[in-house]
Amino acid sequence: DVPDREGRVANVALGFATADDYVRDSPYFGAITGRYANRIARGHFALDGVEHRLAVNSGTNALHGGLKGFDKHLWKAEATDAKDGVALRLSRTSPDGEENFPGTMPVEVTYTLTEANELRIDYRATTDKPTVVNLTNHSYFNLAGEGSGSVLGHVLQLNASRYTPIDRFAIPTGEIAAVTGTPMDFTHPTAIGARIRNDFEQLRLGFGYDHNYVLDRPDPDDSGLVVAAVAIEPNSGRRLETRTTEPGIQFYSGNFLPGSYVGTSHRIYRQSDGFALETQHFPDSPNKPNFPSTVLRPGETYRSTTIYAFSTV
Ligand code: BGC
């Protein structure tokens, strides 16, 4: 629950009323997605000359870790100490060969609710064989409150002057394109819905916004926290600032919310009733040598941090 500018609280994350609903069928509401969040083309990649075949679970692609990805497992949960708030540590070990990914992978994800109204998510993973990893959180937000209707009036700013255009299979073409002069440009605060119906090929291919943005960093080699996105809901004044150590963020305008999920407050969610800001490495990186690498090798530790900070304006 997050207060608005008058102090009235609302639940700003889409979800279900019961735990059973999540188990039955969820479009990744609030989920940790992995081992590889987002898409791998044709569920196929080669690593060190070895071919790996994953299940194709979304059109022609592997999406969000496969048929039984990280979102569909029950994780071990423990309360843990944090100097700046309260924390929950989630952990599980993904076995070697799970969903055909190589390597045993112990994973730890710590959620900290800080005194500053931030939700900080720290990810950590290791492996015993060379593998790929890309973890994110797939929360859908509606800063007016879940179940209150469309998010098209939210004003969004993305700290990204470039993005990765997609083909008709929603796979990046490999090109890194400038957003300038297109409806993809959120470098200045703009309503999500302002241009979503423009006749622009990328919006047709994504059925709206469903694109990876390349975050601007003063030093491209720096992987410290950077502000990736700011979303404001004008009526309530609620503001969500997303900071991350990741190189990219998938901005998804809830295009495939079908109108058949009944949410936490027993209201039906329809297309664009929520949006996601999935901090991540770029989609299909295992097949794109020009994208930042998602390879993890024995002896290395994967680390990633994302902060969702709430305030009002
Ligand atoms: C993808 C969408 C997909 C959604 C739910 C997002 O990360 O980019 O295409 O529909 O997840 O599966």
pLDDT in tens, 45-86: 999 999 999 999 999 999 999 999 999 999 999 999 898 999
Q: Which of 188, 182, 139 is nearest to 160 (CA)?
A: 188
Q: Which of 291, 295, 285 is nearest to 133 (CA)?
A: 295
Give the mean pLDDT of 299-303.
Answer: 98
- Locate 135 and state its tokens: 């973890």
What is the tens place of the pLDDT at every residue in 164-211?
Answer: 999 999 999 999 999 999 999 999 999 999 999 999 999 999 999 999
Q: Is 71 helix (H, G, I), strand (E, B) or coil?
A: helix
Exposure string for 156-170, b = 16+ CB within 10 A, e = fewer:
bbbbbebbbbbeeeb
- Let me know: does 228 contact 250? Beta carbons within 8 Å: no
Query: Ligand 1, closest atom to CA 210?
Result: 8
Give the mean pLDDT of 105-127.
Answer: 97
- Is residue 278 part of the annotated active site? The answer reads yes
CA of 252 to the centre of ligand 1 (A): 7
- Let me know: does 92 contact 125? Beta carbons within 8 Å: no
pTM score above 0.85: yes
- Let me know: does 180 contact 70? Beta carbons within 8 Å: no
* Model confidence band, residue 276 (pLDDT cutoffs 50, 70, 90): very high
* Closest protein CA for atom 5 of ligand 1: 27
CA of 220 to the centre of ligand 1 (A): 27
- Is residue 64 part of the annotated active site? The answer reads no
CA dist., res. 40 & res. 24, Å (int): 25
28 lines ligand 1 (CB under 6 A): yes
Instruction: Provide the H-helix boundaries in the chain.
Output: 19-24, 201-206
CA of 5 to the centre of ligand 1 (A): 31
What is the tens place of the pLDDT at every residue in 233-268?
Answer: 999 999 999 999 999 999 999 999 999 999 999 999
Mutation to probe ligand 1, out of 169, 256, 273, 280 (largest number of atoms < 8 A from CB): 256
Instruction: Tell me whether strands 39-41 and 61-63 are parallel, antiparallel or unpaired.
Output: antiparallel
Bridge partner list, 296: 131
* Closest protein CA for atom 3 of ligand 1: 256
Exposure string for 209-246, b = 16+ CB within 10 A, e = fewer:
bbbbbbbeeeeeeebeebbbbbbbbeebebbbbbbbbb
CA of 69 to the centre of ligand 1 (A): 14
- CA atoms within a 13 Å half-sphere pointing along the CA-CB vector of 241: 12
Is the pLDDT score of 220 beyond 90?
no
Q: Give the pLDDT confidence score for residue 161 in this predicted structure.
A: 98
CA of 272 to the centre of ligand 1 (A): 12
From 52, 64, 98, 138, active-site residue: 138
250 lines ligand 1 (CB under 6 A): yes
Exposure string for 10-40, b = 16+ CB within 10 A, e = fewer:
bbbbbbbeeeebbeeebbbbebbbbbbbbbb
CA 229 to chain centre: 12
Q: What is the DSSP letter of 159?
A: S
